[in-house]
């Protein structure tokens, strides 16, 4: 068997044995796919929508290999995550991964609707389904990077932090939809997960 084939088999086997939790948050946005994609690619703007993301530093133009330093603050903890854009397919997909401290990756998906949904606003001319997918292995988290107060276990933090990921994703999408559409409305958000923490 060629070396490349052996590598692919080993990588596939490793991926199949890893325990990965996932969260997918989706909604319909009444805008053109290209406009939504450009909006999502402006990652530093996310800090305007987030309760826990307090600062974003960008290294690159937003395309493949762009890295971000994401500073989060929650409870008594401050943490800077590093992420990287690993794939783009305009105007439908932005793939990313976390570079350190936890095995995590995900993607933004923009799927144009062929027809407007029945409950579309009267002035809507285009629609697309937008989904934020987050995949992570909670057992891969490096507890040593958090300077935890005494008597606080990493498990306690993890149990409380993972539901915040889902809440934060909903909050970001809801606020982003408002800016994209230029109006406030009730945003129907669907959340699916296989995480035992949610």
Provide the residue-wise pLDDT of the chain in tens; the chain has 198 residues: 443 333 333 333 344 445 578 888 899 999 999 999 998 888 767 777 778 888 889 999 889 999 999 888 877 777 788 999 999 999 999 999 999 888 889 999 999 999 999 999 999 999 999 998 989 887 777 666 666 565 555 566 666 666 777 777 788 888 888 888 988 888 888 878 776 655
Give pLDDT, residue 81: 84
Give pLDDT, residue 195: 67
Residue range 19-51+89-193 in CATH 3.30.530.20: yes
Give the predicted TM-score (pTM) of the model: 0.77
Give pLDDT, residue 87: 96
Give pLDDT, residue 146: 60
- Residues, the chain, total? 198
Burial 158-182 (b: 16+ CB within 10 A, else e): eeebbeebbebbbbbbbbbbeebbe
d(CA 81, CA 11): 25
Give pLDDT, residue 15: 44
Nearest CA-CA partner of 127 in 188, 85, 169, 171: 188
d(CA 40, CA 31): 13
């Amino acid at each position: 068997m060629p070396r490349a084939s052996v590598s692919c088999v080993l990588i596939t086997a490793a991926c199949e044995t890893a325990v990965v939790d996932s969260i997918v948050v989706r909604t319909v946005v009444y805008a053109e796919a290209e406009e939504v994609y450009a909006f999502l690619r402006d990652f530093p703007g996310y800090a305007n929508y987030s309760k826990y993301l307090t600062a974003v530093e960008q290294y690159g133009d937003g395309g493949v290999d762009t890295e971000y330093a994401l500073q989060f603050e929650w409870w008594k903890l401050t943490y800077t995550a590093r992420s990287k854009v690993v794939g783009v397919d305009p105007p439908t997909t932005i793939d990313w991964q976390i570079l350190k401290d936890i095995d995590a990756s995900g993607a933004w998906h923009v799927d144009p609707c062929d027809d407007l949904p029945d409950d579309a606003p009267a002035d809507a001319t285009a629609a697309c389904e937008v989904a934020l997918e987050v995949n992570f292995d909670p057992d891969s988290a490096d507890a040593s990077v958090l300077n935890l107060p005494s008597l606080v276990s990493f498990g306690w933090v993890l149990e409380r932090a993972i539901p915040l990921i889902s809440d934060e994703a909903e909050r970001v999408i809801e606020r982003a939809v408002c800016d994209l559409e230029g109006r406030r409305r009730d945003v129907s958000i669907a959340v699916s997960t296989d995480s035992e923490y949610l």
